[in-house]
Amino acid sequence: MPRVALGIAYDGSRWLGWQTQRGGGTVQDTLESALARFLAQPVGTICAGRTDTGVHALGQVVHLDTAVERRGESWVRGLNALLPDSIAVQWARIVPDEFHARFSALSRSYVYLVRNARQRTPLMHARVGWVYHALDLARMRQAAVRLVGEHDFSSFRSSQCQAASPVRNLSVLDIVQHGEYFLFTFKANAFLHHMVRNLMGALLYVGQGRQEAEWIDELLAQRDRKRAAPTFAPDGLYLAQVQYPEGFQLPIADPAQALFSHLGLMPPH
């Protein structure tokens, strides 16, 4: 039975996260409903990373097994005709049986776009995070370097996190400023529940001058979520990219460029 991989983008503000729920209202429920109509039979999906309520995706990857044959373009256009405007298939590929959307992934990248301005803008509602206190890029970068590498991220995991270990390898934490926008890029082998949003809360505390960069070292050492900053809003958070071994030949795009493209903004130079 052939295995198919799909690249999915969605506006998470419309949905109760990725994972299926009894009452529906999730991206997985909606995608699988469209797949059942497209294939004329029910089919289950496995995703690369489960996103929470309000979190968006530019490059979610799922796989499914089906004996029904369709051309690559038919997978994209046919499914998109059955999906709501807030969910869209970006690409489809036939993959080997050993491919697994979750376990074959080498890394996952999230991007967080924050607008730093005194007034909110309704035109970017739910698409970007908003901070009205001035942010200092240099201070946040000083904090960010302390988080890169393999650490116990207990201070940055949700109390509901079910991961067996709090240790993760954060290989990239990059922060750039484009006018009133700050773009945060996180790349790791895997993430804990609410890890990126909790890291954002701490970085923004440092950026606002409420804590010094050295505070990050204390949080990592204390391994106590209660001592860290509040969880930041999901509005500007995007699952941007999932990287797999080159042998699977799946599309891959630069996370920052993908974000600006999906938002219809001119990419920074």
What residues are annotated to the active site? Answer: 52
What is the enclosing helix (H) or strand (E) of 142? Answer: helix 137-144
Return the structure tokens found at 28: 């997985």
Hey, what amino acid is at 189?
Answer: N
The half-sphere exposure of 269 on its side-chain side, counting CA atoms within 13 A, is 0
Closest listed residue to residue 107, CA positions, set 188, 192, 6: 188
* Residue whose structure tokens are 């996952």: 108
CA 176 to CA 183: how far, in whole Å? Answer: 5
Chain center to CA of 57: 6
Closest listed residue to residue 95, CA positions, set 254, 258, 251: 251
